[in-house]
Amino acid sequence: MDDTLLSILPSLLFIIPQIIIVVACIINLKKKSASGILVLIGAGIGLLTTLFYNLAIPILFQVFDTNIYSDNTIIFSLITGISFIGSMLFAIGLLLLIQEKVKLQQSL
């Protein structure tokens, strides 16, 4: 189990920025706007897919001692599609948020 922990530690570095983004989205959600909700959902999906790829896959690879990448291409395709949807939601929410900020500044 020590080998599993050592293989996961570098992957945790990729999770830290995702957590920071989700926290920032939660702080931004105080306004309860559609853009804030879209950004939060997109960031949450991004965090979940990052956790899957960086934590679950290495653990499964070492526990089952098999080449999990070639045996489960359907699962990876599904997770990639979910990740794409999350990225699109985040991007649309970010564009809406920027548009709201620009309109607010122009009205001042």
Structural domain count of the chain: 1
**What residues make up the domain containing 57?**
2-107
Instruction: Provide the pLDDT confidence category of residue 95 given band limits of 50, 70 and 90.
Output: very high
Show the CA angle centred on residue 80, arms to residues 77 and 85, nearest 5°: 130
pLDDT per position as a tens digit, 8-34: 677 778 788 888 888 988 888 877 888
Q: What is d(CA 68, CA 21) in angstroms, rounded to the nearest whole number?
A: 29
**What is the pTM for the complete model shown?**
0.77
| 30 alpha carbon, distance to own chain's centre | 21
Show the CA angle centred on residue 18, arms to residues 105 and 60, nearest 5°: 160
Predicted local confidence at residue 68, as pLDDT: 60
DSSP class of residue 36? H
Q: What is d(CA 32, CA 28) in angstroms, rounded to the nearest whole number?
A: 8
